[in-house]
Amino acid sequence: MRHLAAALLALLAACAPALAQAPVKIGLSLPLTGPDAAYGQGLRLGAEQAVADLNRSGGRKLALVVADDAGDPKQGAALARKFAAEGVSLVVGPFASSVAALAQPAYEEAGIVLVTPGATWTPLTGRGAWNLFRLAPSDAQQAAFAGSYLADRYGTRRIGLVHDRTTFGRGLADEVARTLKARGRREVLFESLPRGSKDAADLAERLKRAAVEAVYFGGLAPEAALLIKAMREAGLDAPLVGSDGLLDKDFAQAAGPGAEGTVMTMEPEPRRLPEVRGTKAPPPRTPEAEAVAARAYAAVELLAQGIVRARSTQGQKVAAALRQEAPIRTIVGDLAFDAQGDTRYPDLVLRTWRRTPDGRIDYLGPETGP
């Protein structure tokens, strides 16, 4: 028996260096199927390239564990338990706010750090969970930016606020109202246009009677387009301001000529991934993939540098390292987080839908500021 124990100790001693250098598993929870699959493919592309680039640069090796959450909250929560069982302590994702909201407590209980590249729902970070970090500007950060723009651009002129009665849209409008109030301004009208509405004529008339000179809309492109069309038919020329929820290829066609001049708050054009070594040109990617790939790359960079800072792969220690005041440099810029886990310096710009030389109305015009 003593000989067996000695042999086992010798075997463990021989294996220790290899065990110490075992690759660090980074989970990737993303929608590879379902309506957001195009974004999921971009997230996977960015994360895989980041792991490959970091592994070539030396240091502790990384291994990506990819899992499809299908954009489904229940499936996303199940993945949290699966990752925990596989010894994963660091995860990139989920992408959708609904998935992240349901899965986050399971990740927290399992001691897993979560870096979400796309979830923007404001209450997601409201509790200040130790394990959650958000790379995308939150809806509240976008709305505060829009509120500042309205206060600066329109001064004492009359501003109307409209939302689509969803949590997303109402949250945007409420935050714009708070920002205006903080700047000594108040909206003259606070109205709603429910999601799925087919007629906005009555609302347009109310806005006209209130003599609004600018309208903020909290919601998505279909209802925004409906509202603009109704406003123009009512003879109201007030410009409309919204979030990146208006970012839809069919928006200008649905809104008609009145779409020109509409302003959106959004992130700058997405950063491109580094060129892959040994290739002359990157393979073609969809617009959805281009929009998110660099942020997934940055999420992996963030976790890798968190490991170095913490000198550990243990979730609590890596999270504490990521919350240090000094920013971490990534492909999308320097990242630092507040107590809630939101980025301290959200990168936002204003984009205006303008008429192009060929007669189309497109948002790919020059960026403008408040």
- Domains of the chain by range and CATH? 21-137+270-335 (3.40.50.2300), 140-266+349-368 (3.40.50.2300)
Position 272 scores a pLDDT of 77
Q: Tell me what pLDDT residue 348 has.
A: 92
| Mean pLDDT by groups of 10 residues along the chain of 370 residues | 40 42 94 92 96 92 97 96 96 95 96 95 94 95 96 95 93 96 96 96 98 96 97 97 90 93 88 68 72 94 97 96 95 94 91 88 59
In the chain, the DSSP E strands lie at: 24-30, 62-68, 90-92, 113-116, 132-134, 159-163, 189-192, 214-218, 240-242, 263-266, 328-330, 333-335, 349-352, 354-355, 361-362, 367-368
The pLDDT score that the predictor gives to residue 283 is 62
Query: What pLDDT score was predicted for residue 35?
Result: 87
Check if the beta carbon of residue 130 is closer than 8 Å to that of residue 111: no
Report d(CA 121, CA 128) in Å as an integer: 14
How confident is the model at residue 3, as a pLDDT?
A: 45
**Residue among 128, 191, 129 nearest 160 (CA):** 191
User: What was the pLDDT predicted at 19?
Assistant: 44
Give the CA radius of gyration of the chain. Answer: 24
Of 31, 103, 28, the C-alpha closest to 71 is: 31
Structure confidence at residue 59 (pLDDT): 83
CB atoms within 10 A of CB 81: 14
User: Torsion over CA of 128, 129, 135 and 138, rounded to 10 degrees?
Assistant: -40
